[in-house]
Amino acid sequence: MRAHQRAHRQVTRVEYALPQEAASAGRARRLTSAFLTRSRGHLTEVDAERVDDATLIVSELVTNATQHGRSPCRLRLEVSDHHVTVEVHDANPEGPR
């Protein structure tokens, strides 16, 4: 008989609501940097290069969402064992071109 052991993926998530204004991109950068540099103990630490990359990506996505999204946007960040996931959602029914 073989025992199957499933690896448990440790995940930390956070979501922020951001208003439709130019200052939201700067706020999103600060929130992203703070979230990714926070100590998580059992999770792999996020290195400085990934923090910089994620912060730049968040800035671009939030800027786009606030300029073209026609609504406030949501920023969702997730850190797992070896991944950083960034999502930005707005209410614009049209897809990006």
- pLDDT digit string, tens, across residues 26-56: 999 999 999 999 866 656 678 899 999 999 9
Which pTM value belongs to this model?
Answer: 0.82
Residue 27 CB burial class (10 angstroms; 0-12, 13-18, ≥19)? middle
Mean pLDDT of 49-70: 93
